[in-house]
Amino acid sequence: MSTKIFLTGGTGYIGGSVLDTVVKQHPEYEVTVLLRNVPEKFSKLYPAVKVVRGDYDSTDLISETAAKANIVIHCGNSDHEPSIKALIAGLLRRNEPSFLIHLSGTGIVADYRDDTYHGTENPKIWSDVDDIDAITSMPDIAVHRNVDKIIQNAAAEHGDKLKTAIICPPDIYGPGRGPGGIRSVFFPMFVAEARKVGATFYANDGSNGRSWVHIDDLMVVYMKVVEAAANGGDGADWGKEVSIVIIVPKYADGLLKGYYFASSQEVSQKDIAIEAGKLLHAHGLLSTAEPKKLTLSEIGGLMKGHIYYPMIGTYLWASNSRTRSHRAEKLFGYKPSAPTIWETLETDLLASAEK
């Protein structure tokens, strides 16, 4: 059976990189993308990719297109319930098993709602193997939990027909490869707020840590999962077993699969503030190289009014989100090889300043 992929989010930072990687590494795959607006250069870059025009609320179109694919790679809005429900409904219309690969994020384990460790290091490090029971039973208020639950419940009910994988990257750096957005979320926001504050910044002792991955290393994990799906699922873990804990908790031990962290390194907010301050000052973008210690209240007021996450300042710059990609290491021998965050920091910062 030929591999037919339906991909969403193809002009985003992550989704565009996935699209570009899939097309270039596997030109034999038949790829269809959902686009609201088609970039001018799209057909030239990807002449074999079919485009369907719509947005995440085009649920009938999404469902119909998903029904024609044996693999869906959902890189769109990770919190949008109508689109994920439409994708699942479409895949369940198929007679043979299908695969859903969904983009989530390690914000789900971030401690930004609990101020115990804000601005300081939280000793908790999350494993996508050892802590999978806790990760897949987070409270409903956790970031991305609403859609993760929909996927887990669908896998529990339709596990023989619907194979699911949730890709859960940490903060990402490095230039994207796709036809649209090529910048990460963190650095453009950090540079913009640093210029308003007049300096880079941290809170408390600034030891709060976050895991990171280069976009190229993230693509390694994605491709391993996509290729496993194209091979009928062999070589990867899928989500039926993840969701068993929702229904029968006593069977949780050893049966939790289908959830992938992708972290490659960890750095503290203060270390980023120190190094970024030096570089931004050297390029005349800040009047000082010295980072500024802000109060937690001041950190919490940054990016105030953000439409998606009311506590985004605290989440980005005072919380901890420490993860380890044990599943990818175990299954795929995942060994990140892209440049470190320090090796690309200057390029990322300057690109963010131009945005």
Determine contact, residues 327/338, Cβ cutoff 8 Å: no
pLDDT band of residue 240 (cuts 50, 70, 90) is low
Q: Which residue has the tokens 């030096």?
A: 278
pLDDT at 249 over 50: no
pLDDT band of residue 253 (cuts 50, 70, 90) is very low
> Helices 59-66 and 81-92, interaxial angle, to 10°?
30
Lowest model confidence (mean pLDDT) among 1-15, 79-93, 134-148: 134-148
Q: Mean of the pLDDT values across residues 307-325?
A: 90
> Helices 145-158 and 81-92, interaxial angle, to 10°?
20
Q: Mean of the pLDDT values across residues 29-51?
A: 97
Cα separation, 211 vs 108, whole angstroms? 13
pLDDT digits (tens, 9 = 90+) for 254-293: 344 899 999 999 999 999 999 999 999 999 999 999 999 9
Q: How many CB atoms lie within 10 A of CB 231?
A: 11
Closest CA to 324 of 260, 279, 234, 240: 260
The pLDDT value given to residue 354: 86
> Helices 341-354 and 269-282, interaxial angle, to 10°?
60
pLDDT at 310 over 80: no
The pLDDT value given to residue 126: 98
pLDDT at 245 over 50: no
User: What tokens were used for 128?
Assistant: 């996508």
pLDDT digits (tens, 9 = 90+) for 53-72: 999 999 999 999 999 999 99
pLDDT digits (tens, 9 = 90+) for 331-351: 999 999 999 999 999 999 999
pLDDT at 42 over 80: yes
**What are the DSSP calls for 281-316, one per residue?**
HHTTSSS-SS-EEEPHHHHHHTTTT-SS-TTHHHHH
Determine contact, residues 176/85, Cβ cutoff 8 Å: no
pLDDT digits (tens, 9 = 90+) for 154-201: 998 998 899 999 999 999 999 999 999 999 999 999 999 999 999 999
Q: Mean of the pLDDT values across residues 131-150?
A: 92
pLDDT band of residue 306 (cuts 50, 70, 90) is low
State the average pLDDT for the chain. 93
Cα separation, 169 vs 103, whole angstroms? 8
pLDDT band of residue 318 (cuts 50, 70, 90) is very high
| Domains of the chain with bracketed CATH | 4-354 (3.40.50.720)
Cα separation, 263 vs 323, whole angstroms? 6
